[in-house]
Amino acid sequence: MPSASDVPVPSDLPLLSRVVTPEAVKAYADAGGDQNPLHQDEAFARAAGFPGVIAHGMFTMGHLAASLSKWAGGPERIRRLTAQFRAPVFMGEEIVAGGRVKEVDVEQGVAVIECWVTVDRDGRTEWPIKRGEAEVLLDP
Partner 1 sequence: MNPAAAGKTYPATTLTVDPQRVAAFREVFDESEGVPATFVTVAEFAVMPQIVADPELGLDFSRVLHGNQEYEYRRPLQEGETLEVRCRLGSIRVLGGNAFLVLVTELVDPAGDVVCTARSTLIERAAD
Residues that bind partner 1 (CB under 8 A): 18, 24, 27-28, 30-34, 48, 56-59, 61-63, 65-66, 68-70, 74-76, 78-85
Tell me how far, at minimum, the Cβ of 38 lies from partner 1, in Å.
9
- The residue among 57 and 118 lying less far from partner 1, judged by its C-beta, is 57
71: Cβ–Cβ under 8 A, 6 or more apart, which residues?
2, 13, 14, 99, 136
CB of 56 to partner 1, least distance (A): 8
Pick the closer one to partner 1 by CB: 78 or 106: 78
Q: Closer to partner 1 at the Cβ: 8 or 49?
A: 49
For residue 87, the SS3 value is coil
At its nearest, how many Å lie between partner 1 and the CB of residue 22?
13
Closest contact distance (angstroms) between CB of 26 and partner 1 is 10
DSSP category for residue 39: G
Cα 82 from Cα 67, distance rounded (Å): 14
Cβ distance to partner 1 smaller for residue 7 or 83 = 83
